[in-house]
Amino acid sequence: MAHKDIKKVVLAYSGGLDTSIILKWLQTEYGCEVVTFTADLGQGEELEPARKKAELMGIREIHIDDLREEFIRDFVFPMFRANAVYEGVYLLGTSIARPLISKRLIEIAHETGADAIAHGATGKGNDQVRFELAAYALDPDIKVIAPWRDWTFKSRTDLIDFAEKHQIPVPKDKRGEAPFSVDANMLHSSSEGKVLEDPWEEAPEYVHQRTVSPMDAPDVATEITIGFEKGDAVSLNGKAMSPATLFAKLNDYGRDNGIGRLDLVENRFVGMKSRGVYETPGGTILLEAHRAMESITLDRGAAHLKDELMPRYAELVYNGFWFSPERDMLQALIDKSQEKVAGEVRLKLYKGNVIVVGRQSPYSLYSEELVTFEDDHGAYDQKDAAGFIRLNALRLRTLAKRDRSK
């Protein structure tokens, strides 16, 4: 795109060194006005320094938005209704945050009359895809600037030299290569790169920032009860809470009991494999509880159909297609299935384990009368099973007779 066409850019700004360099690079390379946007997604960092740093760099329009409730209510909870896990284990903590950030970037661009948005994702990762697919879905005419794909910097030294030339403060701990990179929000923390690049080497304990080691967790189980309505968690230990408040409490329980650690080699959308160390304490608890709630409230056909569709849903989230018609279609089906997923689940948390110990619901399909080994008073005639088996065995017997005759 022609630089002269860009007069104002909204930058996803963390306040860190990299996005501060991007901010100055946009000012010098494009000669444009920069608007900063910093999202509070529960990453656990003080965000006012980002405001101060933006002010020092001459930014007049600074947006710092608390999106924690929207993040959990409108993005995390809908995804958890689907029990979405990518490649069998990953709870999509980074993936699900990107569409919300893009949504707000587009909103601010419209509010401020900006021509473009900019992000700090590299050209090797998934995030560039997620940011930009979401942005184009919400505004097909928006221009997107991805400096890591455009600038000529080849090394960390080049970036530091640029920062010093333009009087961007460089903390001492940023002068060398970081031992690993971290992305965090209320759902999870993600660590990748450097000391984690060899998949054979165990991750150092200092990489884990959200959880105590399961070996160091208490020797006594912690029991909690989660209440559900329409597939969403609405109460904890009998107390109603907002989505973000409840999730923060689950994170505390997970942290203290060493729950939610994952060491994964995953397939990125861009084609390469990468190794990541993830911590999703509250999400790991919530997934187990939600599946337990579904176990007594969902019909077998509905439950199995959901499980068949889940990998497709998870892949859409991972690849950045949150604002796609197919994700909307799947969400409508999933939400329909959740209408009577309500009740309570009791769990014990112990040294990295989430153990379901009880579940109850006013919509339960579980019948003690049917499953009992005692007299069921005619609720189930065991002789009926003979005909059921014969009918299901018909094709198997036909195949066996044919094959035996040859």
403 assigned to active site: no
18 assigned to active site: yes
pLDDT at residue number 180: 78
- Global pTM value: 0.93
Confidence of residue 369 (pLDDT cuts 50, 70, 90): confident
127 assigned to active site: yes
Confidence of residue 373 (pLDDT cuts 50, 70, 90): low
Reported as a single tens digit per residue, the pLDDT across 10-31 is: 999 998 888 999 999 999 999 9
pLDDT at residue number 300: 96
Distance (Å) of CA 20 to CA 26, 167, 223: 10, 11, 45
DSSP secondary structure string, 66-114?
E-HHHHIIIIIHHHHHTT--BTTTB--TTGGGHHHHHHHHHHHHHHHT-
Cβ neighbourhood burial of 229 (10 Å; 0-12, 13-18, 19+) = middle
Mean pLDDT to the nearest integer, 362-369:
89
Distance (Å) of CA 23 to CA 105, 163, 240, 281, 381: 15, 11, 42, 34, 73
> CB under 8 Å to 331, separation ≥6 — which residues?
78, 82, 313
From 51, 74, 181, 346, active-site residue: 181
From 20, 68, 81, 98, active-site residue: 98
Which is it for strands 143-145 and 261-267: parallel, antiparallel or unpaired? unpaired
- Angle (nearest 5°) at CA 219 between 217 and 225: 80
Are 181 and 192 contacting, i.e. CB atoms less than 8 angstroms apart? Answer: yes
Q: What distance in Å separates the CA atoms of residue 240 and residue 233, rounded to the nearest whole number?
A: 9
pLDDT at residue number 177: 62
Share of the chain above pLDDT 90, in %: 82
Closest CA to 249 of 261, 237, 258: 237
- Cα end-to-end span (Å), the chain: 71
Please, what is the average pLDDT of the chain?
Answer: 93
Reported as a single tens digit per residue, the pLDDT across 101-131 is: 999 999 999 999 999 999 999 988 899 999 9
Domain-wise residue ranges, the chain: 3-68+93-177, 182-298+341-360, 369-404
Are 286 and 250 contacting, i.e. CB atoms less than 8 angstroms apart? Answer: yes
Question: What's the fold here for domain 182-298+341-360?
Answer: Argininosuccinate synthetase, chain A, domain 2 (3.90.1260)
173 assigned to active site: no
pLDDT at residue number 405: 77
Domain 3-68+93-177 has CATH 3.90.76.10: no
pLDDT at residue number 379: 73
From 81, 95, 127, 190, active-site residue: 127
- Angle (nearest 5°) at CA 202 between 197 and 205: 105
